[in-house]
Amino acid sequence: MGRYTGPKWRQSRREGVELRDEGKRALVKRNYPPGIHGPMSARKRLTSYAKQLREKQKAKRIYGLYEKQFRNLYEKALKIDGDASINIRQLLESRLDNIVFRIGWATSRQQARQLVTHGHIRVNDQKVDIPSYQVKPGMVISVKESAQKKAYWVAALPKMKKKNFASSLAYDFATNQVTVTTFPDVEELTAPFNTTLIIEFYSK
């Protein structure tokens, strides 16, 4: 199955929580599942398996991952020392497309993914066009010099001075370069999904 390209608000209504960090609030006017029977159906009490499945689906939809990608990320998290539930969050947050979104260069992760795949982003002064690329502490992220002349970046870069950045990101306003100082602090970044239930889902 290909990547979902429909409206995010529909997915938010399906999960019963707001999946986006940006834009309109999906549940303000329609706090019920999408579809013809949505208004008439109450959200049913979920089984333990259904709860685990829904948490996994939330995380996949927030970060825009395929099932195979998410499964591989889970297996990678298990191999890293420490709490696997924290490792999953850090791996998700360390994706290049997510870092570009967290910086504020894009208003959504989908837009950030597009900027990366179109070759606008450089890591350690090398072009990286893979959205899932894992960014590590010490790496420097910047916008391709020729791309900065495009209308999008001419409008976007000056706005950075008004933004607040995560503690793991150090922004140099003179060069518009971002240094990743540490791994993302998952306590600093809230998420509407439970990674413990995701681990339980895959561990069966």
pLDDT of residue 12: 62
Whole-structure pTM value: 0.81
One domain for residues 71 and 102: no
75, part of any domain: yes
The total number of structural domains in the chain stands at 2
Single-letter code of the amino acid located at 148: Q
The answer to whether residue 49 scores a pLDDT higher than 60 is yes
128, part of any domain: yes
185, part of any domain: no
132, part of any domain: yes
pLDDT of residue 1: 45
The Cα 161–Cα 110 span in angstroms is: 23
Residue 198: partners with Cβ closer than 8 Å, 6 or more residues away: 52, 55, 56, 59, 74, 85, 88
The Cα 142–Cα 100 span in angstroms is: 9
20, part of any domain: yes
Q: What is the CATH number of the domain that holds 21?
A: 1.10.1050.10
Residues 106-151 have pLDDT tens digits of 998 989 999 999 999 999 999 999 999 999 999 999 999 999 999 9
The answer to whether residue 97 scores a pLDDT higher than 80 is yes
How big is the chain, counted in residues? 204
Mean pLDDT confidence for 102-109 = 93
115, part of any domain: yes
| DSSP code of residue 95 | B
The parent domain of residue 83 ranges over: 8-92+191-202
The answer to whether residue 180 scores a pLDDT higher than 80 is yes
The answer to whether residue 32 scores a pLDDT higher than 80 is no
In contact, 155 and 138? CB cutoff 8 Å: no
The answer to whether residue 41 scores a pLDDT higher than 60 is no
pLDDT of residue 5: 62
Query: Higher-confidence residue: 62 or 142?
Result: 142
Q: What is the CATH number of the domain that holds 106?
A: 3.10.290.10
